[in-house]
Amino acid sequence: MPHSGRSAASRDWWRKADIYEVYVRSFADGNGDGIGDLAGVRARLPYLAELGVDAIWFAPWYPSPMADAGYDVADYRAIEPLFGSLDEAEQLIAEAHRLGIRIIIDIVPNHGSDQQQWFADALAAQAGSAERARYHFRPGQGAEGSVPPNNWTSEFGGTAWSRVSSAGRAQPAPEAPRGPGAPEAAGEPAEWYLHLFSPGQPDFNWAHPDVRAEFADVLRFWFDRGVDGFRIDSAALLAKDPSLADLDPGQAGGEHPYIDRDGVHGIYREWRRIADSYPGERVLIGEVWLPDAERLTRYLRPDELHSAFNFDFLCCAWDAARLREVIDVTLDSHARVGAPATWVLSNHDVVRHVTRYGRADTAFSMSDRRIGEPSDRELGTRRARAAALLTFSLPGAVYLYQGDELGLWEVEDIPDELLQDPFWERSGHTDRGRDGCRVPLPWSGKQPPFGFGPEGSVPWLPQPTQWKDLTAEAESGSDGSMLELYRAALRLRRAEQALTSADIRWLASPAGVLSYRRGDDITVMINLSAHPVGLPPHDKVLIGSAPLQGGVLPPDCATWLRTRQCTSGDEGFDRAAQGSQG
């Protein structure tokens, strides 16, 4: 039975929402072409309702040449034909709403696709034209302009500039354009254009009024169709230093030529006014990767974005002291601006946490994915279960990535020739990229395609045969499965008043153990140490990530306890049961 407990009108729903990321091409394939689609999602909405999520966030579903899996948008007002149609999207939104699930869609404002009409117009026009002013076109350096305009590098590797060829087509860097100097107008050397990601993703010039007007209109287009919010891609990158000066690695927060410039906030203030002009609390969620919590929460001031992903939490090692610090800094910095904290373990850009937590070094860095590094899957899974109870017990909103609830791991042995992520090519085959967390979901059956598509269809990336034990069908109703843990935890998260309170109270606990009080009657314990620990006095075990043997919590396990009586800071752990610790 779906348990959509929160009504569509409930205020501040986003402050404590559980939001599930659907990566459309890998979720479910309705027509059997191997690529996930909206028909597949519609058929699985009851599954998501039963899981108990409040909202779905869709990775980009727009028409795209897929230079970066849809993050290169060719038309912001339509649906990628491989995924379905606008009509179907509208039906999906209505069906989700009927199930009590809100819809958040990705918007990609930093860059478009090189196949977008505006960019075609810019290439066809000349240097200095109004068409080129919507992007960042510049002459190159050096005698024939053959050196990129500055030293910025693409997130995917290599220079962030590509040169326009004489044929009016973009040339991928680093190859030189055809012909010396490639004149576009008589005697003029060809210009370069900026792309902080792949050459297929030219950056927009946000100082240009057309760009601002266009995106304001796109927001309205989708709000008018009932979407409940936007996840804003690369939200900190939009404002550029107009001089496009070289990057100096020593620059501090606010001085970087394109990351987190102060000018970006005016854009989101305008967007917030648009969101607020619609009924029913439409939300803006920023993808803001910043090392400084204070700089991050500037985006969350009351007249800007509602919420942002907590990447410090995602990247944090499986270590009690470090996690506690991240939790404290998060709660404190968000409280200062009145924004809810958020908690996220995985998404479509990072190594799945089952795999991360099974490694010797459990921290994550975007610049060093370490694909293929040894990982203990059994350990990683045990920790992922405990991590789920950690995240679901914290105050604020939680983001889940499709497949988290099945305990999927990173697929690290995708054959080279099937890799699609631009990281692979652009890094000169040193970074295997993000395909390993984007492998199509296993739904049912004993062999691929595991119900992802109809029998006999071939998913766009191959699924491991061992996923036969991790299908939604195999895990449903199976005691001790990740899916049942997620369902139970999400149910409790809704039902227990204590878990909706705004803060947590840390309790004294042995080294390597996180223990805190939620509300009046729940104590949470996560044992990240190598030893079993005794439980404090309690009335009842509400949930555990593993069976609690003899009243102790094993290593890498978590539990939520009903502890009505306990009120003091030191809740009297059963120290005798702490075993050989010391």
Instruction: Enumerate the β-bridge partners of residue 526.
Output: 514, 558
Q: In terms of residues, how long is the chain?
A: 582
CB 101 within 8 A of CB 148: no
162, containing H or E segment: strand 161-164
281 binds, among ligand GLC, Ca ion, none (CB under 5 to 8 A by kind): none
Site string for ligand GLC, 346-365 (x = CB under 6 A): --xx----------------
User: Of 472-511, which residues contact Ca ion (CB under 5 A)?
Assistant: none
Which of 122, 237 has the CB closer to ligand GLC? 237
Q: Check residue 197 for interaction with ligand GLC (CB under 6 A).
A: yes
Let me know how many helices (H) and strands (E) the chain has, helices first: 13, 19
Among Ca ion, ligand GLC, none, partner that 35 touches (CB below 5 to 8 angstroms by kind): Ca ion
Question: Looking only at residues 368 through 397 of this chain, which bind ligand GLC when binding is defined by CB under 6 A?
Answer: none
Under a CB-based contact definition with an 8 Å cutoff, are residues 49 and 4 in contact?
yes
Site string for ligand GLC, 100-139 (x = CB under 6 A): --------x-------------------------------
Q: Coil, strand or helix: which one is 57?
A: strand
Q: x/- string (CB under 6 A) for ligand GLC, residues 440-479?
A: ----------------------------------------
- The SS3 of residue 82 is coil
x/- site string to ligand GLC, residues 269 to 288, per CB under 6 A?
A: ------------------x-
Question: In angstroms, what CA-CA distances link 216 with 131, 201, 430, 478?
Answer: 19, 20, 39, 47
CB–CB of 137/91 below 8 Å? no
User: Which SS3 state, helix, strand or coil, does residue 407 take?
Assistant: coil
Interface mask toward Ca ion for 21-60; x: CB under 5 A: --------x-x-x-x-x-----------------------
CB of 68 to ligand GLC, least distance (A): 5
Q: Are 360 and 415 in contact (CB under 8 A)?
A: no
> Which of ligand GLC, Ca ion, none interacts with 234 (beta carbon under 5 to 8 A by kind)?
ligand GLC
State the Cα–Cα distance between residues 416 and 25, nearest whole angstrom: 20
Nearest to 275 by CA among 228, 307, 208: 228
Per-residue x/- track, 251-290, Ca ion (CB under 5 A): ----------------------------------------
Could you give the angle at the alpha carbon of 328 between the alpha carbons of 324 and 334, nearest 5°? Answer: 145
Q: Does 71 bind ligand GLC (CB under 6 A)?
A: yes
Minimum separation from the CB atom of position 55 to ligand GLC (A): 17
| Residue list 224-263, contact with ligand GLC (CB under 6 A) | 233-234
CA-only gyration radius of the chain, Å: 25
Q: Which one, 150 or 201, has the nearer CB to ligand GLC?
A: 201
Report in angstroms how near the CB of residue 78 gets to Ca ion at its nearest. Answer: 17
As beta bridge partners, residue 170 has 164
Please give the residues from 302 up to 321 whose contact with Ca ion meets the rule CB under 5 A. Answer: none
Site residues for Ca ion per CB under 5 A: 29, 31, 33, 35, 37
